[in-house]
Chains A and B, each alone.
Chain A
Amino acid sequence: MGFSVRKTDDKFVNAVDDFQRYRDKKAWELAFRSLTSVTGVDPKLMAPSKDGFMLPARQRIMELLVSLPPDGREAYRLFNDAPAKQMYEQATATASTSPADEVPMLRKLYEQYFITSIGDQAADRLGDALFESGDFLGADAAWAAVTEKYPDSDLSATKIQVKRGVAMARSKRYDALATLVQQMKEKDAGATVSVGGSDVVAVEFLSSLVEPTTQPSKNQPALASNDQSPINLPPSDQPAWQCQFLDNEVTQKIAERVNGWGWQGASMQMAFFVPSSDTDGKRVYVNWLGACFAIDAASGKMAWRTDKFDEISQKVDQLVQAGPDVFAYSTVVIPNDRVLFVRVPVKRINYDEPMRLTCHDANTGSQKWSSESGTLSSYAFLGKPVFVNDIIYAPAKTREGSELMLLTIDPSNGKMISSMSIGQAAAGTNYRGNTVIPSAQLSYHQGKVFILTNNGGVVCVSPATKQVEWAFQCEGPPVVNQQDWWQRQYGSQKLKTPGVIAIRDGILYFKERGVDDMYALDLSGPTLKWKRPIDESDMIAGITSDRILTVGSDAGAIDRNSKALTWSTRIPLDNGMIDPLLDGHSLFVYLSRGVYEIDASNGKLVRIFRGSDKDSMGGSVWRAGSKLITVSNQAVTAYPLSASARAN
């Protein structure tokens, strides 16, 4: 069993069962009474819903009420119209005095009394309030409830649909908007609506909001560059500069130490570790097993470093025994000339030291703050943080526990703003007996934080309400304990690429690390759009208007709608720690035989750029200004891009 969220107790489950039984017998009073005892359920608890989704218990109650037939709804209104109307009046009165309180009140009303005679108005007003707050997905969901789950509403269906369409356009869900327009054309193509004081044909108005969706998503994981112009690979293998951090002496030292540890050494990808890296265009920031450094992107000169590289080789024993998740090491450039590293600081490497979050001055490397002390010191960080609206969101766990937490941190001083429990991870143990859980991946999208656990699930969190909005549970990777030595000694180690979460046009695609399934979740439900098997070594490398690009033992493209594999190209993957780059036309993958440029439309191998780092195992590929940067397990190398690319 993998990751799990806090679930409702048996009392809730029994109440739901009772409701469904009485509903089917049309014993309305008994049905409503069975829910009475659980309407006050803790809003943080989750209840099982369809297809592996877990919804907040209150939302599950609403789902049950919506499932009532017309006579059941009538009966419900008989009992509940009065309190619902009273609550609605309170909410509208609050809007003028305390607008911040309006949304929670409307949400409560919407969740508890949606099928009452005032429910459609409450949902419409909730949609308006959420739209104004920038929660376009939430607004669309509220309006969709009116059109889809409230068949006897007196509200103008056209107006509600237009509102939905605008929310879809604002959230750039153009596919969903096109579908909506098509539905409206079939139903009432000439219906008009008042927009900005003048009457317009609803279908024409919404059609004008549909934009072509050929440009790549800004949320795609292939994020190595903010420049989306096509990349022309360098004409020559001659680098502009190269910084080799793993020289022969250090390699030999590490090899000796790792070999000395035998099977434990084999359990860690020490020799093939590709540092995490990021760039702000001026410098390339690199995090090699906790020794962090910055290189001037123009000259290749090392601007600063936190530790000497050979200090790592002296700490290899401790690193191997601690067995940290190599995918947790992270580097993130944030505004105001700062850079964040998730690492075990070299001076603190020992058998039990957790991953820390440290913030450095990007110009000098001086440490601004660190989770080694203060409110963050009791947490172990579990992967790459995201920076949104001047707040750092970071996945973490308590040092000895296995509860996955989402921390919000003030970037100016490293103080924790809030901590929120996401759920319980299925934990393994390292050689020292400490709990280890896989690193998580975060993605921020339209006011929501999505957490890929790499442990059997995705969780959607609203930072505004600090609540889990939904969780999706699936089969996670097997939990491996370091003591299961025979598995490691006798089992060939399978290549694992990073787990990736990517959102495009309102659909969330994800594939966890070490798992052989990919999922597409429609965020407007949320519902499971599809699930398909995929090679365990594959990762999502990018999303185009019609395809999901994957990289593993093969590069491939999966049609977003039919989920069929449309092309496949064999590539020599020798190391799972890769970070491909998609420039909109071509997919660039840095492998042991060089940087592979693959045509994203048909999988044709356009070119292989060997480069000068020929003995490496591949790794990340970036664009920084007019240079192509490769970060391998042994060097950071920059090549001047072809002039035609710069002109673009």
Chain B
Amino acid sequence: MLKKLMKNKLVMAAACVLLGAGSVRAEDGITVSASGEVKSKPTVVEIGATVTADAELTADAIVKYKEAKKKGIDAITNLKLPNVAIESNGFTVNAAMDQQQQMRVMQGMPGGTAPKQKVEVSEQMKLTIKDADKIDSEKLMDTMLKVIDTGKDAGLVIGPPPATNYYEMQIRMASGKGSNLALFKLGDITQLKEQAYKQAMDSASAKAKRLADLAGVKLGRVLSVAEGQPKEETNQGANASRMAYANMYGVPFVPNEQTDVSSSLCADIPVKVVLTVQFAIEQQVAVSGATPSGR
């Protein structure tokens, strides 16, 4: 990651000029925010799958879980799709909750007779279609549907794990994660980010130069570079809203530190970088009678 390049501060008598996204401060030189954006086709499609088994007898739960997992994996493997891989995110063993009783309690009703406790074994898996950018979009869709259908037929719960109660369902729907079966992702975004950084830097230079010209000063060297927007321009509330909006509409929110980018839309995914760059203003030789602005 980029680090601050310069910490020296030059005191300038230049007037502060604000224009667009840039700003000029008398004591800091010229500071601008600029962004770079590079779009690319998703390279990976991720389909969530869950294997869940519950039973009163632990032995039954284990048989159900093992068989469901084996049959699910076998079914996907038997499709013999070269780009499809299965990864496990680990399993959990919990006491299964009775949904009926849960709902009654949530609604403030008496819980009724406690049901017999069940053991629940659950495993989250990821079905991944690699090199999606190299596959024709129609063929990609066919492959996805084949994987989803086969997984469902084999007993896998495709997509996000089923909500265990009404509130969980509401929260998921509000966050846009209620119904997405697949996520389209960019795999290694290092190169794309490099390009975006370059774009952002170029844009910052251009903006700063414009400001300097308007102010009648000469743009100096870069004093500092920071990722993201200047502090006073960032707002946690606004970021959170942007994140929620991004999730809801499938537009990714991309903090600079993020290493992978995903979208629920099968379309070009933007990788965006925002930089705040501070430039020095080169000191000019004082001319008698001249105004600071040069007039």
Contact = CB atoms under 8 A, between A and B. Distances in A.
Interface stretch (B51-59, B196-204, B234-242, B264-272): B51-59
Contact of A564 (B59, B64, B68, B109): B59
Nearest to A603: B67
A491 B103 CA distance: 6
Contact of A494 (B56, B100, B104): B100
Interface stretch (B133-141, B150-158, B220-228, B276-284): B150-158
Contacts of B80: none
B71 interface: yes
Nearest to B110: A486
B173 interface: no
A605 interface: yes
A532 B116 contact: no
B218 to A, nearest CB: 72
B291 interface: no
Interface in A472-513: 478, 486-487, 490-492, 494
Contacts of A605: 71, 75, 153-154
Contact of A572 (B56, B104, B152): B152
Contacts of B95: none
B27 interface: no
Given A533-B116, A565-B64, A570 B155 contact: yes
B63 A490 contact: no
A547 to B, nearest CB: 13
Contact of B67 (A491, A533, A568): A568
A530 to B, nearest CB: 13
Interface in B64-86: 64, 67-68, 71-72, 75
Q: What does DSSP make chain B's interface, helix, strand, loop or mixed?
A: helix
Q: Which of A478, A490, A556 has the most CB of B within 10 A?
A: A490
Contacts of A487: 104, 112
A594 to B, nearest CB: 9
A568 B99 contact: no
Nearest to B113: A478
Interface residues of B, number: 28
Given A490-B109, A554-B64, A532 B104 contact: no
Given A567-B63, A603-B67, A533 B109 contact: no
A484 B112 CA distance: 12
A608 B64 CA distance: 20
Interface string B81-117: 0000000000000000001100110110100110010
A18 interface: no
A216 B99 CA distance: 38
A551 to B, nearest CB: 13
Contact of A491 (B59, B60, B75, B100): B100
Given A490-B109, A516-B116, A533-B56, A568 B63 contact: yes
A492 B163 CA distance: 13
B57 A533 contact: yes
Interface residues of A, number: 27
Contacts of A492: 99-100, 103
A46 B153 CA distance: 50
A514 to B, nearest CB: 12
Contacts of A554: 53, 64, 68, 155
Contacts of A516: 56, 116
Contact of A568 (B68, B103, B154): B68
A535 B63 CA distance: 14
A612 interface: no
B64 A491 contact: no
Given A569-B155, A570-B155, A571-B155, A490 B104 contact: yes
A68 B104 CA distance: 54
Contacts of A556: 64
A593 B152 contact: yes
B71 A565 contact: no
A492 B101 CA distance: 9
Contact of B63 (A478, A494, A565, A572): A565
A289 B56 CA distance: 36
Given A516-B116, A533-B57, A570 B71 contact: yes
Contacts of A564: 59, 63
Nearest to B112: A487
A486 B67 contact: no
A608 B116 contact: no
Contacts of A571: 155
Contacts of B67: 567-570, 603
Nearest to A554: B64
Interface string A569-580: 111100000000
B104 A491 contact: yes
Interface string A377-393: 00000000000000000
A129 B153 CA distance: 56
Contacts of B53: 554, 568
A647 B72 CA distance: 34
B153 A608 contact: yes
Contacts of B109: 486, 490
A563 to B, nearest CB: 10
Contacts of B156: 570
15 contacts: A491-B103, A532-B57, A533-B116, A535-B55, A554-B53, A554-B64, A554-B155, A564-B59, A566-B63, A567-B67, A568-B60, A568-B67, A570-B72, A572-B155, A604-B71
Interface of A: 478, 486-487, 490-492, 494, 516, 532-533, 535, 554, 556, 564-572, 593, 603-605, 608
Interface of B: 53, 55-57, 59-60, 63-64, 67-68, 71-72, 75, 99-100, 103-104, 106-107, 109, 112-113, 116, 152-156
The 3 closest A-B pairs by CB, nearest first: A570-B155, A533-B56, A491-B100
